[in-house]
Structure 1
């Protein structure tokens, strides 16, 4: 998750706290941000870039598998059958 989004969420949470309580904890926003970062860091997520790389890899592998399947079909149709061997 992007740092600006975390900061925005932390600010919204801090602003929802009553002013009297907020005054008692002058660094509340920083604490909330640290807590959010720690909790979000525990999530098992990937970046958009990592996902794009994996999708490209899968696409290339799929094309290779399809090509190998076509070659196998051609060999099975044109070559000797397993009974002839």
Structure 2
């Protein structure tokens, strides 16, 4: 989650404060932002771009593995035919 989204959430939380706490809004917004960032970091999330890059890599690796398995089966059958 980017910092702009975290800022928006923190501001929305601060806007829900009762009227008596409006004077603390700026300080509480900063605290909300810090708490949100630390909790999201603890979740060890990856960005959509990172996820898609890894999914593409996995797909290519899977295709290559299938090709190698097919080649190995072919070589094994040729070897059996000679033996």
User: Bigger shift: 51-60 or 72-81?
Assistant: 72-81
* CA 49–24 in structure 1, closer or farther in 2 if over 3 Å, else same: closer
TM-score w.r.t. length of structure 2: 0.83
* CA 75–34 in structure 1, closer or farther in 2 if over 3 Å, else same: same
Shift of 1:26: 4.3
TM-score w.r.t. length of structure 1: 0.81
Unaligned residue ranges in structure 2 (runs of 5+): none
> Does residue 1:15 correspond to 2:19, yes or no?
no
Unaligned residue ranges in structure 1 (runs of 5+): none
Alignment partners' CA distance in 2, 1:20 and 1:79: 84
Contact 2:14 2:28 survives alignment (8 Å): yes
* C-alpha RMSD of matched pairs (Å): 1.9
Partner of 1:65: 65
Q: Per residue, is there more helix in 1 or in 2?
A: 2
